[in-house]
Amino acid sequence: MLTGGPLDVLTGDYLAELTMLILGRDRLKNPDLGYAKTFLRQLEEALGLAHERGVRIVTNAGGLNPAGLADAVRALAAKAGIPVRVAHVEGDDLTARTDGALTANAYLGGAGITACLRAGADVVVTGRVTDAALVSGPAAWWFDWDPGDYDRLAGAVAAGHVLECGTQATGGNYSFFTRHDVRRPGFPLAEIAEDGSAVITKHPGTGGAVTAGTVTAQLLYETQGVRYLGPDVTTRLDTVRLTDEGTDRVRVTGVRGEAPPPTLKVGVTRIGGWRNEVVFVLTGLDVEAKADLVRTQLAEVLEGVADATWTLARTDHEDADTQETASALLRLVVRDPSPDRVGRALTSTAIELALASYPGFHVTSPPGPAQPYGVFTSTLIPSDEVPHTAVLPDGTHLPLPAPPTAPAAEPPAPPAPPEFEARGSGGGAPEGAGGTAPAGSGAEPRETVRAPLGALAGARSGDKGGDANVGVWVETDAAWEWLHRTLTAEALQALLPETAHHTVTRHELPRLRALNFTVTGILGDGVASGHRFDPQAKALGEWLRARHLDIPVALLPAPEATS
């Protein structure tokens, strides 16, 4: 990023729910730790170049110990003879006020970052701020925005949300990845204007691609609802407009902002207990019977375990020409408050079956001792009870007042459904036999074909604690008319049966031709608990895209011609 083209501020987002748990365990071992050590290693190579080019660095790598990381940066700069001014932001750590927590951190906004930059800092280190604050804070400094400039701040938050996961905005993890060369995608950057609008792009000559699709995918990522609540501003995602402005340039405009809520989110991690797992390989014939035998043989030893989950993945193929593709995987995951119940006594019993169980018995790897797992929860705290403090380069502690807030607003009225029209570019037809439009719709009958949703729609999914979100978007107005009618919350539950016993909420973003679904509780206690095969729901959207339903033929891309 420093060598590829002009840059004013370089940001680094190092924190996630799982990261906070890891840093909390580091701090238990050594109170001087609790920050992302990888940042220091990267800074050794980059600090001199950033200083030479006048690029500010803003990072949340401070984690649970931003003051400690700020001191380490000063020591690194002194050793290298680089005269940089370092500041940090603190006040987010509420662990001492939360019983039984390994970590408890309020999500602060960008005001502390803004204050540090106004005081002349070259490097700003924070603890837990919102990911987007790493962009909105510097933008407020650069343009000297006021706390009440909600539309401008909301535009910067939207840009920050696009940038926060790096190459996910430039073709990484993208549903339509085969359209682009994404072997080494470049990192995204935002050219932010004074009115809060932005152009998302990347340095010339870097890999990947920036398109309306890649930006849409990231806007949908890990958001819940059309109002994206933040500590500085509530961003209305249903107002975002995207415009392609040439190769690798997408303009983000029209973003509206509202006053932030009177509370801050607090992320809390705790040690939830102990876990272990064994994966049995079942090869060839009688896979179901082999699985039943193992379950029966281990039933007695599992009787005292708090939670034991069996999953049979039928990865085997009939008459397979390799042993691996002739094999299925039977996974046992155990959790308990006591490490003894899920430790070697259990795993040894599993291995002792090796000569007394199903034919071909083996496991993917020898099971080890029980490992602690974490639980993530979130709560709310009044924003004026959190001491948001900027520690300036000269050591001055500058308390920052909570921004003006507003009580939670009523959800926006749902937009009117798109018109169902018969037109040459392809209308839409709801799922149903015969592929005809509903009676009285005024539309011509449309031929449908059974096809995967991903032939038409892209998706991006992720986690928010124990909840998952799945964003789905299409690229044409005609496809949006069909998607809006067809993919209801109930339809999603039918397509993804594992969501059927969870509350699914649908949010509509017509300007992005997108739907965003929240699946409450499907991830249990969050990523660190290892509740699911895909504990962060990263592939939930791709599973949805692989499911088949009736799609109007006119909406599907034409098959490629063959020679």
Q: What is the mean pLDDT of each run of 10 residues along the chain (563 residues)?
A: 96 92 92 94 95 97 98 97 97 94 97 98 98 98 97 98 97 96 96 98 97 97 92 96 97 97 95 93 98 96 93 96 97 93 86 94 90 91 96 98 79 69 34 37 67 97 91 97 97 96 96 96 77 86 97 88 48
- The tokens for 294 are 């193992």
CA distance 111 to 146: 10
Q: Residue type for 121, please?
A: A
Residue 432 CB contacts under 8 Å (≥ 6 apart), including other chains: 550
Measured in residues, the chain has a length of 563
Calpha distance 118→398 (Å, rounded): 12
Mapped onto helix, strand or coil, the DSSP state of residue 552 is strand
Domain 276-375 has CATH 3.30.70: yes
CA 197 – CA 193 distance, rounded (Å): 5
Spatial separation of the C-alpha atoms in residues 78 and 479, rounded to whole Å: 58
Give how far Cα 448 sits from Cα of 15, 201, 421, Å. 45, 38, 16
Which own/partner pairs from 501-509 qualify as long-range (CB within 8 Å, at least 24 positions apart)?
A: 505/225, 507/224, 507/225, 507/226, 508/226, 508/238, 508/414, 508/415, 508/484, 509/220, 509/226, 509/237, 509/238, 509/240
Smallest Cα–Cα separation from 153: which of 105, 109, 200?
A: 109
DSSP run (H or E) holding 113: helix 111-118
332 to each of 303, 370, 406, 520, how far by Cα in Å? Answer: 14, 13, 48, 24
The pLDDT of residue 527 is 67
Task: Retrieve residue 422's tokens.
Answer: 């018969």
Residues 6+ apart with CB under 8 A from 324: none
Q: pLDDT value at position 419?
A: 62
Q: Is the dihedral of CA 203, 207, 211, 215 positive or negative?
A: negative
- The domains of the chain are located at 152-258, 276-375, 433-555
How far is residue 313 from each of residues 79, 214, 283, 291, 331, measured CA to CA in Å?
54, 31, 12, 11, 8
Q: What is the pTM of this model?
A: 0.90
C-alpha–C-alpha distance, residues 295 and 56, integer Å: 58
Name which of 227, 200, 204, 229 is nearest 216 in CA terms.
200
